[in-house]
Amino acid sequence: MSDFVTFILAIISAMLIDNVVLSRFYGICPFLGVSKKVKSSLGMGIAVVFVILVATCVCWPLYTYILEPAGIPFMDTVAYILVIASLVQLVGLFIKKYSPSLYKSLGIYLPLITTNCAVLGVVQTNTDTGLRFIDALANGLGTSIGFLVIIVVFSCIRTRLESANTPKAFKGLPIALITAAIMAIALMGLQGLFAGI
C-alpha cells in the first residue's frame, strides 16, 4: 500500500472510526459548551484544527530530536503544554492585533483551546505510539477534522432539538448527552471498515 493511501486511510480512521470526542471522550467541555449554535461551533472547530496541526508540527520534532536523545522523554507533557499555551496566546495576539473580524468570531474560543485536552491528547498519542512524522500529521489532521465535523453536526442536531417536543426532564444537557451517545453508536458501526485493506 502506498504512503499516500496510508495517509488518507489514517485521516479517515482518526476522523470517523476513532473519533476523538465520541470514542476517547477528549474535548467534552467545548463539545457540550460551544455546540448550542452552529456558527459558534464552526468557529471553535476551525480554531482547534489550526492549533492541533501546528502543535503536531512543533511537538513531534521537539520530542523526537530533542527530548528523547537528551534522555528526558518524561518532560514531554510539560513541553507540550508550554507549546500549546504559547501557540494559542500568539495566535490570539496576532488575531487581536491584525484581524478584528476574525477576533470577533474566534477570539472567545482561543483561550478555551488551551484547556481542550483533545489537543494535548493528539500530540501525546503521536509520540507515545512512535508514529512517523507523516503519520503523526495524518493523525492530527484526521482528529481535528473529526472534532470539527462532530461538533458542527452535534450543534445542528441541538438547534433542531430546541424546537422539538422534548419531555421537560430531558431538556438541555440530558437530551444532548443522549444524542451524543447515539452518534457514538453510529460511528462504532464503522469499525472494521478498512479491515480487508
Partner 1 sequence: MTQTEYLIVAIIILVVLAVTFIVSFVLYKRTPKPKGCEDIEISEEKCAGCNNESCAFYKEKDSIEVLKNKKEEK
Give the binding site for partner 1 (CB under 8 A): 29-30, 32-34, 36-37, 40, 62, 66-67, 69-72, 75, 78-79, 82-83, 85-86, 89-90, 92-93, 96-97, 100, 103-104, 107-109, 111-112, 114-115
Give the residue with the Cβ less far from partner 1, 85 or 183. 85
For partner 1, give the closer residue by CB, 96 or 132: 96
User: CB-side exposure of 51: number of CA atoms within 13 Å?
Assistant: 35
- Would you say 5 or 156 has its CB closer to partner 1? 156
CB of 177 to partner 1, least distance (A): 13
Q: How far is the CB of 162 from partner 1 (least distance, A)?
A: 11
All three cell numbers of 109: 474560543
- Helices 117-128 and 133-162: crossing angle in degrees, nearest 10, is 150
Say what the alpha-carbon torsion angle 57, 58, 60, 64 is, to the nearest 10 degrees.
Answer: 140
Comparison of 83 and 141: residue with beta carbon closer to partner 1: 83
CB of 114 to partner 1, least distance (A): 7
Nearer to partner 1, 82 or 193 (CB): 82
CB 46 within 8 A of CB 106: yes
SS3 163: coil
Nearest approach, Cβ of residue 171 and partner 1 (Å): 14
Number of alpha helices (DSSP H) and beta strands (DSSP E) in the chain: 9, 0
**Closest Cα to residue 123, out of 61, 52, 25, 66?**
52
Between 113 and 131, CB nearer to partner 1 = 113
Q: How far is the CB of 182 from partner 1 (least distance, A)?
A: 20
The CB-of-155 to partner 1 minimum distance in angstroms stands at 10
> Three-class SS of residue 176?
helix
Task: With H, G, I as helix, E, B as strand and everything else as coil, classify residue 9.
Answer: helix
Helix (H) or strand (E) holding 139: helix 133-162
